[in-house]
Structure 1
Amino acid sequence: MPDTEGFVRAAHVLGAGGLVSFPTETVYGLGADARQDAAVARIFEAKQRPTFNPLIVHVADIDAAKRYVIWTDLADRLATAFWPGPLTLVLPLRQDAGLSPLVTADLPTLAIRVPAHPVAQRLLAEFDGPVAAPSANPSGKISPTQAQHVIDGLTGRIEAVVDGGACGVGVESTILGLGDAPTLLRPGGLPQEALEIALGGPLATRSEADPLTAPGQMLSHYAPGATVRLNATETSDHERLLGFGNVEGATLNLSPAADLVEAAANLFLHLHALDAQSDAPIAVSPVPDIGLGRAINDRLRRAAAPRDH
């Protein structure tokens, strides 16, 4: 855990328009003051991220969120149930929000959440402002779950990394749009089933053909340097196996016990490790598409998608 001086310095860097990476319970974020155009533009520059891809704003609590979005009873129910935590809500942007239009990619809505990680909480309290923070990695590459992943990917492009250890959840937040009907825009660290229990009914879902309305929706994303093949029940001689459950011959195993929570926490960590080993193709064992398995499979499908670079 960083000391008080470290948090003060990190907050000062943010206020001065710098970029600070910090841990959340999901992955490490790359933070900038969401009110400063130049600072937010530097996020896109550092990540080489397309500017049509909106960002999530992180705030300290529900009261802070209400300053930037038009709050609803449904938002209040969900935020009370799941914040702080790995849930991002997409709500109409307040006209007086004062955020850089780069944050929303000029959309009329804002993705916003309250992270649960104590380091993120302490930094947001010290900074006392909205922090735009996508994952702290080059765009399209594997998301970082340790400070060293950030350093390896973004050294020389950002001012600071606040090291808070490994991220416990290991996949990005679940994104829920609260428009005409609650819509799952991105599966993530909060299982869909938990949301449906809280809402008392099924969520609407987004089609891949729909326009981008939230982060994490690009087809090719979260990708290692090697090609990725999914649902592998056997491998060829030149492939490395990323296993799940009781499988033989795995180079690494997301969870030998077939525990989806453990698998989510290990997903990006193991992809980083495989990426560092070689560029030999990666075959991935089938992962059940339930609970956190939905988020794992979403990330794996995007990692395996045809590359646009």
Structure 2
Amino acid sequence: METKQWTENGIKEAAQVLKDGGLLAFPTETVYGLGANAIMSGAVQRVFDVKGRPSDNPLIVHVSSFEQVEGYVENLHPQAERLVNMYWPGPLTLVCQVKPDIFAKEVSAGLSTVSFRMPDNEMTLKLLKEAGVPAVGPSANTSGKPSPTTYEHVFHDLQGKIEGILDDGSTKIGVESTVIDVSDPNQSPMILRPGAITKEQIKQDLDIDVSYDKHLLKDSDTPKSPGMKYKHYAPDTNVLMVKEQDWDAAVRWVKENHLRAGVLASPAICDKVRANTAATFAYSDKSVKAATKGLYAGLRALDETPLHLDVILAATFPEENLGVAYMNRLKKAAAQEYFEG
């Protein structure tokens, strides 16, 4: 199969592919998504097959308006519309109770809830409006690998496996959306997966108190949201997280053990360690925003270098505000492992 590259002029053709049950990747402000018609069971099943994704991992449905969601949902949470009015289009996903027999059964992994999001990307909103159907959109990569933030990342993983890719350059945020469970109108909203829209921001903007889901899923449990259960975002090369005070010790360890190490960190740290490591990938600056945007691209670049690294050392950030989302993804990429000096 030839995988086409579409730009804005190709939206009409891409929309027809989506409507007819084909697979295509589309850009969002977070990462590139792998799109399929959420109403067609065969199309949704192909998403799982192409990604190698576990069948009990539910999918997020992408829509072009809140009015669509209102037609699908039962017992809408009293805070849902306030959240939508503030953050849609944007990196916020809402888990809602849905009416039966609307979506392909594979979308919800057997649950009575479905997650919805309206992405903040003009090309993809045009695509969804033109197609006239809701679209699932998990990250457009091989399951478990770092999510794609450019056309090239998607093409690397999925060329020959999907009909096309809608190319809109690099994504703006770089990690997946915040997922909030609003499926029970009698319960307070709960964050199932952290993202760019933080608990603190929601409190400041809307005076809504949201909590974090803290319970650990068993192997037999079906997660309500992607990113809750399985190892995600991980390159093939082992990743170790390095705290700010441990970089000197980490570099000594690399030298003493004759390791080929890659470093994923701020420009200042990369400059400091470059002479004693095999490869570096510097974020655009030292901020957590820059680190979040560059995380997946950096993991991919270091993992795919022909130097065949033994380890990737990645900088940590305080777990507050956007740092919660950054560390959530990095911890999964590193299998929770820190460098211990």
TM over 0.5: yes
| 1:192 Cα offset (Å) | 2.5
Q: How does 1:15-94 map to 2 (within 5 A)?
A: 15-70=19-74, 71-94=76-99
| Letter of the structure 2 residue corresponding to residue 121 of structure 1 | L
Equivalent position to 2:175, from 171, 175, 188: 171
| 1:196 Cα offset (Å) | 2.5
| 1:95 Cα offset (Å) | 2.5
Equivalent position to 2:333, from 289, 293, 303: 303
| 1:244 Cα offset (Å) | 3.4
Residue 227 (structure 1) aligned with residue 238 (structure 2): yes
Q: How does 1:193-208 map to 2 (within 5 A)?
A: 193-207=200-214
Once residues 201 and 159 of structure 1 are traced to their aligned partners in structure 2, the CA distance between those partners, rounded to angstroms, is 42
Residues paired across the two proteins, number: 304
Equivalent position to 1:292, from 311, 322, 328: 322
Once residues 292 and 245 of structure 1 are traced to their aligned partners in structure 2, the CA distance between those partners, rounded to angstroms, is 19
Which residue of 1 is the match for residue 300 of structure 2? Answer: 272
CA RMSD between the two structures: 1.8
Superposed CA offset, 1:107-132 (max 9, x none): 11110010011111111111111001
Once residues 294 and 93 of structure 1 are traced to their aligned partners in structure 2, the CA distance between those partners, rounded to angstroms, is 29
Which residue of 1 is the match for residue 191 of structure 2? Answer: 184
Q: How does 1:228-267 map to 2 (within 5 A)?
A: 228-232=239-243, 233-234=246-247, 235=250, 236-237=254-255, 238=259, 239-244=261-266, 246-247=268-269, 248-249=272-273, 251-256=280-285, 258-267=286-295
Q: Aligned pair in 2 of structure 1 residues 2, 255: CA closer, same or farther (>3 Å)?
A: closer
Residue 213 (structure 1) aligned with residue 224 (structure 2): yes
Segment of structure 1 superposing worse, 238-247 or 287-296: 238-247
Structure 2 alignment gaps of length 5 or more: 1-5, 275-279
Query: The residue matched to 1:66 in structure 2 has which SS?
Result: helix
Superposed CA offset, 1:151-178 (max 9, x none): 1001121111111111011100000011
Which residue of 2 is the match for residue 116 of structure 1? Answer: 120
Superposed CA offset, 1:33-78 (max 9, x none): 0000000000000000001000000000111111222333310000
* Equivalent residues of 1:220, 1:304 under 8 A apart: no
Once residues 116 and 294 of structure 2 are traced to their aligned partners in structure 1, the CA distance between those partners, rounded to angstroms, is 25
Superposed CA offset, 1:263-291 (max 9, x none): 11111111111111133201112212122
Which residue of 2 is the match for residue 128 of structure 1? Answer: 132
| Letter of the structure 1 residue corresponding to residue 150 of structure 2 | Q
Q: Aligned pair in 2 of structure 1 residues 276, 208: CA closer, same or farther (>3 Å)?
A: farther
Higher alpha-carbon Rg:
2
Q: Would you identify which runs of 4 or more consecutive aligned residues in structure 1 move more than 3 Å?
A: none
| Letter of the structure 2 residue corresponding to residue 43 of structure 1 | V
Which residue of 1 is the match for residue 277 of structure 2? Answer: none
Query: The residue matched to 1:67 in structure 2 has which SS?
Result: helix
Compute the TM-score of the two structures, normalised by the length of structure 2: 0.85
* Equivalent residues of 1:244, 1:286 under 8 A apart: no
| Letter of the structure 1 residue corresponding to residue 265 of structure 2 | G
| Letter of the structure 2 residue corresponding to residue 186 of structure 1 | R
| 1:245 Cα offset (Å) | 6.6
Compute the TM-score of the two structures, normalised by the length of structure 1: 0.93
